[in-house]
Structure 1
Amino acid sequence: MIIKRVLNNNTVISTNKSGFDILVMGRGIAFGKKKNHEIDMELVEKTFLLRDKSMQNKFTELLLDVPMEHILVAETVINFGKIKLGKALNEIIYVNLTDHIHSAVERYNTGIILKNPLRWDIKRFYPDEYAIGEKAIEIVQKNLGVQFEIDEAAFIAIHFVNAEEGKSFDYAYEIAEITKNIENIIKEKYRTEFDETSLDYYRFITHVKFFAQRILTSDHYDDEDSELLMILKEKYRNEYECAILIHDYVEKTFDYPLSSTELLYLTAHIRRITKNL
């Protein structure tokens, strides 16, 4: 394996048998080496293949400043996350999570500890991703000797939410905020709390998260259920009034008018989650 470019003493760019550029890491692997020199395979600890060229460029730039220990910790967390979620992740996770862990370690070493105001909401709305964040705290403490506060689990969780392929939650923080606000509107209307372990609650939260995504991307359902909505309005008056409160919040905050179809679904989900109150 031949060195194509030296990034630092521990990292070089080479080419694999298929012709793809790969990042090759190992302590001292590039010490005294230059372009076109042979790589000592006994020193190789890790190789990275990022097929997306722009992601590879970003990751390469990141490696110029990030210690190898931080990179390996991020990879360990990513591998755990892939197993936990059981799905593919966008390659951007390698850039974003590595950068986050590196920056967080530097922050902690200078006494700067950030609180996450949405931690509980992220934990409720993205439980699997939050569990990865909790595991990441353990991995960082074990390998880097830095003890993150629990808030860091939520920050890390969001990186996994945003990296899940086939799940276009590019606005995870905003979605969590909107979901929380809509849930609070219903709680205040009915003066109640919900069983967060119930299937109806899970269905409701899932619907609201996708609803929030449509708001943020200005995507609308067709307005084609006005007659059926009028039937539900008469049958479930309280639930419809609650849906109108959500409508007012969304329209005022995001200038997003709700179609009859959106109101219909909201009314139905509110009915489902409040029917036993």
Structure 2
Amino acid sequence: MSFFILINTLKLMGKGYVEMKIVRILNNNSIVAKDENQQEFVLLGAGLGFNKVRGDVVDEAKIEKKFAPTDGKIANQFMELVNNISMDCILYSQQVIEEAKINYGKKLADTIYISLPDHIANALENAKKGMLIRNPLLHDIKRFYKDEYAIGEAALRVIKEKTGVILPTDEAAYIALHFVNAEIGETKDTAIEITKIMQEISNIVKNFFKVEYNEESLNYYRYITHLKFFAQRIITRTNYPDGDDDLLNLVIKKHSREYECVLEITDFLEEKFGYSISSDERLYLTVHIARVVNAM
């Protein structure tokens, strides 16, 4: 991690508190400060920057959150964000992110500290204007990213509790995508593209076998997890190397119908993305499809 978040640490440090001086005032409630070791911090707290100037000693009692950025790009983006949105949105986001880490064991890229508060601020502004932004991938995000969607729902509860604003379930799905992005280290557009590819492959399988998925089964979870990483490989133009054709031939003999479905997927991906599936990729996809179809 290049952007560490320390929650209420200063108030717990007591006599161990290291005096800091202001080097930049972002607004009345946020400042940039340095300690005696020249370590730079972004500090949030009501009135921290009010009537202050560069060089003033930071009022320890007013510090609510302490951010210690070590990545220059992330630090600059965060300081810009702090200067343009409500501090409350940053604090709501911090709560959601920490709960996601604790409850789901998520390892997240530092970009989540920029993208999530920015999104929440925009969502609240849209709600204030009476604007409802529909999410066309709502159903698929709920299916493919159960943990992340649950985090999105938790975020809506935090926002309702803190502001009284009830955001639509579409927003839970949008927030889920921010966590997907932070897990794979990609942009929001990449996560959307991955979701669309998963949707299209999933529909090919469902229509080929004329079945409905048992979305609560372990085999479905494994299948969706495989599709997620498969879709990432398509986006990044990477592939499994060709492997043992003898093993693939055994799988084809046992699961000939499922392999026919894989060939249909192969043709689709070749036509739409110019992506050729390796023999190992076809093998793994056949096995996962066989498991999920037979579990229905």
Alpha-carbon contact 1:137-1:148 (below 8 Å) kept: yes
1:84 to 103, 109, 127: 103
- What residue is the counterpart of 2:84 in the other structure? 65
Number of positions where the alignment pairs a residue of Structure 1 with one of Structure 2: 275
2 CA distance for matches of 1:2 and 1:168? 34
Q: Does 1:254 pair with 2:258?
A: no
Secondary structure at the counterpart of residue 213 of structure 2:
coil
Map residues 59-138 of structure 1 onto 2, 5 A cutoff: 59-138=78-157
Q: Which amino acid in the other structure matches residue 119 of structure 2?
A: H
Displacement of 1:132 in angstroms is 0.9
SS in 1 for 2:46: coil
Deviates more, 1:132-141 or 1:234-243: 234-243
Q: Which amino acid aligns with 1:61?
A: E
Partner of 1:163: 182
CA distance in 1, matches of 2:128, 2:295: 50
Match 1:47 to one of 46, 54, 66: 66
Name which of 225, 234, 240 aligns with 1:206: 225
Offset at residue 169 of structure 1 (A)? 5.9
Using the TM superposition, give the Cα deviation of residue 168 of structure 1 relative to its aligned residue in structure 2, in angstroms.
5.0
- CA separation in 1, counterparts of 2:255 and 2:30? 64
Q: TM-score by structure 1 length? A: 0.93
Q: Which runs of 5+ in 2 are unaligned?
A: 1-19
Which stretch shows the higher mean deviation, 60-69 or 11-20?
Answer: 11-20
Deviation at 1:18, TM superposition (A): 5.0
Question: Is 1:178 matched up with 2:197?
Answer: yes
Q: Distance in 1 between matches of 2:152 and 2:69?
A: 23
Distance (whole Å) between structure 2 residues aligned to residue 249 and residue 78 of structure 1: 37
- What is the CA distance between 1:240 and its match in structure 2? 1.1
Q: 1:104, 1:276 → 2: CA distance?
A: 40
Give the TM-score of the pair, scaled to structure 2.
Answer: 0.88
Work out the CA distance in 1 between the residues paired with 2:179 and 2:201: 24
Cα distance in 2, alignment partners of residues 13 and 168 from structure 1: 27
Q: Distance in 1 between matches of 2:145 and 2:36?
A: 39
- Pairwise CA distance, 1:17: 5.5
Specify whether residues 213 and 3 from structure 1 end up closer, same or farther in structure 2 by C-alpha distance, changes over 3 A only. same
Contact 2:148–2:177 (Cα < 8 Å) also in 1: yes
Given that 2:214 and 2:295 are in contact with CA atoms closer than 8 Å, whether structure 1 keeps it comes out as: no
SS of residue paired to 2:25: strand
Mapped partners of 1:211, 1:111: distance in 2: 39
Q: Deviations over 1:7-33 (max 9, x none)?
A: 111111012465321111122221111
- Is 1:231–2:233 an aligned residue pair? no
Q: Which runs of 4+ in 1 moved over 6 A?
A: none
Q: Is 1:50–1:91's contact at 8 Å kept on the other side of the alignment?
A: no
Residue type of the partner of 1:197? E
1:257-277: CA deviations, max 9, x gaps? 111111111112222222356
Alpha carbons of 1:22 and 1:183: their partners in 2 closer, same or farther (altered >3 Å)? same
CA contact (8 A) 1:84 1:132 kept: no
CA distance in 2 between counterparts of 1:17 and 1:256 reads 55
Identity, in percent, stands at 44
Give 1:83 deviation, angstroms. 1.1
Secondary structure of the corresponding residue to residue 14 of structure 1: strand
Runs of 5+ unmatched residues, structure 1: none
Aligned residue number for residue 153 of structure 1: 172
Letter in 2 for 1:83: I
User: How far does residue 179 in structure 1 lie from its aligned partner after superposition?
Assistant: 1.2
Cα RMSD (Å) of the superposition? 1.7
